[in-house]
Amino acid sequence: MLSTTVSKQWKMVRMTAELIKFVEKHNDLFGENDWALTFGEAYRPSMLAQWYAKMGIGVANSKHCERLAIDVNFFIGGVYQSKSEAYTPLGIYWEGLGGVWGGRFKKVDGNHFEV
């Protein structure tokens, strides 16, 4: 039997795979390979999270520390999307899977996806 933490981490991995498939499906539907993802930050040591929090660029209790969050880099037509709004279709899909999307955070973080 898996521990609660491992079960959540396994869910995170499966949901990330579904997000990747969603991007691939978009490309198949439109007959071109204009959407792509690369991985950003998937794991953050707690010391780094505490430092980020002191710098005002993160939170000390980040889900990245528990391996329950991932940041992705989203490209459309080979161009990196730096604005959170561009991630909206991905975020809505992620929420439909039962996840939490950083585009809804008070301090918007559109490339952040967590369980």
Q: How many CB atoms lie within 10 A of CB 62?
A: 22
Q: Find the domain containing 88 and state its range.
A: 4-41+68-114
Give residue for tokens 């990196």: 80
Does pLDDT of 29 surpass 90? no
Q: Which helix (H) or strand (E) is 30 found in, with range?
A: helix 4-30
pLDDT in tens, 73-110: 999 999 999 999 999 999 999 999 999 999 999 888 99
pTM: 0.90
Tell me whether residue 94 is in a domain: yes
In contact, 109 and 84? CB cutoff 8 Å: yes
Tell me whether residue 86 is in a domain: yes
Tell me whether residue 57 is in a domain: no
Tell me whether residue 95 is in a domain: yes
Q: How many domains does the chain have?
A: 1
- The CA dihedral of 30, 32, 35, 38, to the nearest 10 degrees, is 140
Tell me whether residue 56 is in a domain: no
